[in-house]
Amino acid sequence: MKKIPKKVKDTINIVTNAYGKSPDLNTRIIKINNINVGILFFESSSQTSTISDFIIKSIDFTSQNVFENLFNQIKNYMFNCQVLTIKNLDEFYYYLSSGFTILTVDENEEAIVMETRAQLDRGVTESTSEPVLRGSKDSFTESHSKNLGLIRKRIKDPNLWFEEVKVGRRTETRISIGFINGIANKETVKQIKEKLQKIDIDGIIESGNLRDYLTNKPSTFPQFLSTERPDIVCNSMLNGKIAILVENTPFVLIIPTVFIDFLHTSEDQTQKWINITFTRILKVFAFLITLFTPAIYVAITTIDQNVIPDKLLISLAIQREGVPFPTAFEIILLGIIFEIIREGDVRSPSNMSAAMSIVGALVLGQAAVDAGIVSPITVIITAITSICSMIFTDIDFTNGIRAWRFIFIIAASFLGLTGILAASLILLIKLASTENFGTSYLAPLAPFNLEDQKDSILRFPTTKILKRPSYTTKKNKTKQRRQK
């Protein structure tokens, strides 16, 4: 720990040199009864009007009425809602970069820290990555305090706790672990905190940087739910889950996350239960179609031709007449082209994405068929597969499906339907063996829990869902009392 020099000028010289004499670092020395009072702040991250109107005026008031120790008097009469004292010179850099103003006084090894942060983040706006059909329109921002406030205004319970950890040698990023005391698993909270404290890295800029540090085994499917919707985070916390909020990013991680969470949406709480059940069943069918359809087409047209009727086989053969490439190569080629178009569509400006989709999907597909490079049925299979994958909004989940889709295609091209069956068993074993902080990734389907099936693939009326999921909390399971 480096002590703060007793001389204000020495302190200013050390801090100024540490920042390479940065032009946005403002310093000022005010003399009161022949005692130097130093003021340090960053013009780029501080609200200069606040410094002038309150801090400078407080010092001016103090200079006219010095009754006690100057340092203590400035601290007591400071017109600021948050006034701290620090004794470590290393803390200077964190507070200055965070937009605080620091006061030092001669012959004192302490410094006064006051919050004067400028508004450097955007206001609370509607979510851009998660469309809202029905529900609250606000979303998280890059402001850490605002994000905590968006949760607190929804859950007005003193048992809503946040534990904070700073990660990053250079960034010192604030990471808050949010949970409801008495509902969430305290052991899981402890494990998360310990893993975060062990991270030794220059900096954490985005919540996605934490994924690899918090997972025990890598998986193609995401083990964390990432969202910028406060209502999703609050519903998850009320069910016993834990939220991880990272400073300077609007995306919050939710732990533990299981497979069926990606079949759910925030609108599930606001729409009729029978419609939600139908939508979830559609998502299950879409998942199976986008995962297996290309592989099954490759298997029945190359190896297992005896499993399809002769008329259909003849029709497929006629369509493939003149195509020089194997079926597996066609499917993989079109699949890669579609993924390139989709990636370009996501990354390009919104006014260009529609044109890219039309050119890629219509013009390129039709031209490939007319040129005899691919068959029409291959284009149809690829289109169906792509459309079904669009029903899932989480990009990591979609990427997981994409990876396994190509694995199934390769397995089908070598072993046919037997290869698909073998790859399916491998996928099932992989998912069943994946754990997320002691929670099975396939819960509540495996291990099977009858009570939790009321809100898994099926959705019962809200009045019938009395318990929280058993895989998120082991105590305080009752969510609501039975209606009389």
9-41 residue pLDDT tens: 999 999 999 999 899 899 988 888 888 889 999
pLDDT for 321 beyond 80: no
Whether the ω angle into residue 444 lies within 30 degrees of 0, i.e. cis, is: yes
Pair (422, 316) in one structural domain: yes
Residues 170 and 40 in one domain: no
End-of-domain residue from the set 257, 284, 314: 257
Q: With bands split at pLDDT 50, 70 and 90, how would you rate the model's confidence at 234? A: very high
Residue 403 shares a structural domain with residue 284? yes
Burial class of residue 192, CB neighbours in 10 A (0-12, 13-18, 19+): buried
pLDDT digits (tens, 9 = 90+) for 275-299: 899 999 999 999 999 999 999 999 9
Compute the CA torsion angle 230, 150, 245, 470 (nearest 10 deg). -50
Whether residue 155 sits in one domain with residue 99: no
The answer to whether residues 31 and 167 belong to one domain is no
Lowest mean pLDDT among 208-212, 302-306, 363-367: 363-367
User: What is this structure's pTM?
Assistant: 0.86
* Cα–Cα distance for residue pair 447/263, rounded to 1 Å: 18
- Sequence-ordered alpha helix ranges (H) in 270-416: 273-302, 310-319, 327-347, 350-358, 365-370, 376-389, 395-415
Q: How far apart are CA 214 and CA 216, in angstroms?
A: 7
Q: What is the pLDDT of residues 135-146, one digit of tens each?
A: 788 889 988 889
Q: Please report whether residue 120 resides in a domain.
A: no
Do residues 98 and 45 touch, judged by C-beta distance below 8 A? Answer: yes
In a domain, 297, yes or no: yes
Strand-pairing partners, residue 29, are 38
In the chain, the number of structural domains is: 3
How confident is the model at residue 410, as a pLDDT?
93
The pLDDT of residue 439 is above 60: yes
Regarding whether 413 and 374 lie in a shared domain, the answer is yes
Residue 470, in any domain of the structure: no
Question: Is 447 within a domain?
Answer: no
- Asked if the structure places residue 329 within a domain, the reply is yes
Helix (H, G, I), strand (E, B) or coil at 276: helix
Residue 158 preceded by cis peptide, ω within 30: no
CA distance 13 to 21: 9
Closest by alpha carbon to 200, among 213, 186, 211, 188? 213
250 and 278 housed in the same domain? no
Domain of residue 244: give its range: 144-257
Query: What's the DSSP call for residue 482?
Result: P
Which of 75, 100, 115 represents a domain boundary (last residue)? 115
Q: What is the pLDDT of residues 73-106, one digit of tens each?
A: 888 777 777 888 888 888 888 899 888 999 999 8
Model confidence pLDDT, tens digit, residues 103-116: 999 888 889 998 88
Q: What pLDDT was estimated at residue 417? A: 92
* Shared domain check, 230 and 316: no
| Residue 347 resides in a domain | yes
Q: Per the domain annotation, does 39 fall within a domain?
A: yes
Residue 453, in any domain of the structure: no
Beta strand pairing status for 242-246 and 173-180?
antiparallel
pLDDT of residue 61: 67
Q: Same domain, yes or no, for 395 and 305?
A: yes
Q: Write out the DSSP string of 195-223.
A: HHHT---S---SGGGGHHHH-SS--SS-S
Q: Do residue 16 and residue 152 come from a single domain?
A: no
Residues 211 and 332 grouped into a single domain: no
State whether 337 and 311 are in the same domain. yes
